[in-house]
Amino acid sequence: MKTIGIYLRQAREGQHISYKELSRHTKIKPEFLEAIENSDWQKLPELPVLVGFVKSISDVVNINREQAVALLRRDYPPQKVSLNPRPDVKREIRLGQRALWAFLGSIAIICMSAYLYSQYKAFTSPPRVTIISPAENELVSAHKITVRGTTDSTATVKIKWPTRAC
């Protein structure tokens, strides 16, 4: 069975044309011409480019273009196509205008609720009082006592002195 390489080589040699001369007429590298005649597909470009090469060579060596292309298509090895069922496409998160406003509204409501809760807790809880002296459970017998400590600036401190029955 005659391959495309044998077919083109016989036509080229029958016309006594060298690779260099054929390359000059077709503008195809001599390495590609030799690879086509040797059916060395790894050194050659893809099939559509090879079809153009074979048509150009056929015109120079005066052979039937359609027959040469048919032989090329028959001899050219099928390419393995790797199908990736899950392409590596990054998903973009896109929010529509309604979803964006709903999201921003939710954030605003959460912030407002947190602020109101903190204000409510501050209003309903007693002020902080830290007493430095007298110490806790310290017995004092004097009639005048100095109480030292800290509290909020707006707080009023009232001290209730227990009265003893004598």
Q: DSSP letters along 20-76, please?
A: HHHHHHH---HHHHHHHHTT-GGGS--HHHHHHHHHHHHHHHT--HHHHHHHHHHHS
Q: What is the mean pLDDT of residues 119-136?
A: 86
User: Which residues lie closer than 8 Å to 99 by C-beta, 6 or more apart?
Assistant: none
Note whether 58 and 64 are within 8 A (CB): yes
Q: What is the mean pLDDT of residues 63-76?
A: 90
Tokens 């800290």, located at residue: 150
Q: What is the mean pLDDT of residues 42-48?
A: 88
Half-sphere exposure of 151 (CA within 13 A, CB side): 13
Q: What number does CATH give the domain 4-75?
A: 1.10.260.40
pLDDT of 115 strictly over 90: yes
Note whether 137 and 129 are within 8 A (CB): no
CA distance 109 to 135: 46
What single DSSP character describes residue 86?
S
Nearest Cα to Cα of residue 75 among 146, 4, 161:
4
Q: What is the mean pLDDT of residues 27-52?
A: 90
Query: Percentage of residues in the chain with pLDDT exceeding 70?
Result: 90
Residue 87's pLDDT band, with cuts at 50, 70 and 90, is low
Q: What is the pLDDT of residue 119?
A: 94
Question: Residue 131's beta-bridge partner residues?
Answer: 149
CA distance 50 to 6: 16
CA distance 10 to 98: 73
